[in-house]
Amino acid sequence: MKNILYIALTLCVGLGLMSSCAEEDSKYTVDLSGENSTAPTVSNPASGTADLSEDAAAEVFEVFEWVAADYGAPVAVTYVLKMDVNQDFSTATDLVTTEELLASPTVKQVNDGAIALGAATGEQLDLYFMVVSQINGVEESVLSGTEMVRTVTPYEVVIDYPTIYVPGAYQGWSPGAENGRLYSYDFNKQYAGVIRVIDAANPTGDVSFKVTPEPAWDLAWGGVLTAAGTGYTGDLDPSGGDFSVAPGVYAFSVDTDAMTIEMTKTDDWGLIGSATPGGWDNDTDLLYNGQLRVWEITVDLIEGEFKIRANDEWVSDYGDDNGDGTLEAGGANIAVSEAGNYTLQFDLTGLTYTMTKN
């Protein structure tokens, strides 16, 4: 069965000496089956191993050039260079969007995109590339070109994810502060992160905040949140007042295309033990680093032991049975053999941790 689109275009038809014009609707039939349409074709396909080097991060990874897609009608077309670690492009990220017939992603773009897709640093893997076309404003008009594959080894780097900000009473109303950032891990308009929304001056009172797209007050979104389950939902309103929520640690999900915000209460992690400032009686709160996706703290420790636990209670806790940097649920206390200032980072997805003496 043919995949047919019917497109109406409004053309400006000149009258006289171009002194005026009249609008005229022209309808076109676009066949996406391939019989009368052609997907963009890369004119310089390459394969084999490509170099990813941090020293060359700003350099062009590769220049992809293609022959224009042909829809059989005079339509405006946008092209997207997609990349994925999966050959079926089921998790593809958009590297470059353009109306031109070439794209020149940098080494950094490719490396960051590969890591965001789950590629392990220091390990060789195949990356798949494809150019797709779409008639501007017509989602059903996508034509996909043939795939290309390059073998690379990503290097370790802190990824510069797109960021939005959540200034509020819990962190001094400071847009751009380290505490209060959400990240777009897929490099789109959906942002996520975990924030402790608790005002130290009033730890049991409701907390006000806003959302800003930049680390400044030029534009700020607020509004009214509706309680939903263990959290809240609402819309981002540029003329709205402060958001207000009960104190707690929340997993945020913000969509700046749909202009929506969702918050769900989540675990609040901290250190406890004889090596920590609070001993075995009081937890020392960790902060969530959304860019690295770890819970972390820089803190003075004394010789002794510690564990990490959730929500100031012994329901969910982690230790290290073998002293190898791997976290085990309910595991052995982690030893601190020398007093000093330490930076601790805990990856509760990969169940690993690091402890670095500063």
pLDDT attached to residue 29: 61
The predicted model gives 16-40 an average pLDDT of 59
**More reliable by pLDDT, 171 or 4:** 171
Instruction: Assess whether pLDDT exceeds 60 at residue 43.
Output: yes
In terms of C-beta density within 10 A (0-12 exposed, 13-18 middle, 19 or more buried), how is residue 252 classed?
buried
**Which phi and psi (to 5°) does residue 171 adopt?**
-140, 25
C-alpha span between 214 and 221 (Å, rounded): 11
DSSP secondary structure letters along 182-227 = EE-TTSSSEEEEEEEE--TTSTTS-EEE-BBSSSSSSS-BB--EEE
- Per-residue pLDDT at 161 exceeds 50: yes
pLDDT at 272 over 90: yes
Residue 114: name the closest of 158, 87, 152 by CA: 152
Mean pLDDT of 118-127: 90
Residue 31's pLDDT is what? 62
- CB-based contacts of 305, cutoff 8 Å, min separation 6: 273, 274, 275, 333, 334, 335, 336
Task: Name 127's bridge partners.
Answer: 150
58: number of Cβ within 10 Å: 8
pLDDT for 267 equals: 97
- CATH number for the region 163-265 comes to 2.60.40.3620
Is residue 14 over pLDDT 50? no
What pLDDT was estimated at residue 88?
Answer: 93
Tokens of 304: 């002794």
Distance of CA 181 to the CA centre of its chain: 12
Stretch(es) of the chain classified as CATH 2.60.40.10: 35-152
Alpha-carbon dihedral angle through residues 137, 143, 149, 153, given to the nearest 10 degrees? 10
262: pLDDT strictly greater than 80: yes
Q: Terminus-to-terminus CA distance in the chain, angstroms? A: 67
Class of domain 269-357: mainly beta
Per-residue model confidence (pLDDT) at position 13: 40
Q: What is the pLDDT of residues 53-81, one digit of tens each?
A: 999 999 999 999 999 998 888 888 999 99
- What is the average per-residue pLDDT within 29-47? 75
Q: SS in 3 state form for 83-149?
A: EECCCCCCCCEEEEEECCCEECCEHHHHHHHHHHCCCCCCCCEEEEEEEEEEECCCHHHCEECCCEE
pLDDT score for 22: 46
- Please give the Cα distance from 207 to 169 (Å, whole number): 6
Burial of 337 (0-12, 13-18, 19+ CB in 10 A): exposed
Is the entire prediction scored with pTM above 0.75? no
Q: Who's near 218: CB < 8 A, 6+ residues apart?
A: 212
Distance CA 201, CA 257 (A): 34
In the chain, CATH 2.60.40.3620 sits at 163-265, 269-357
For the ranges 28-32, 72-76, 175-179, 339-343, the one whose mean pLDDT is highest: 339-343
The reported pLDDT for the residue numbered 9 is: 46
| Assigned CATH for 35-152 | 2.60.40.10
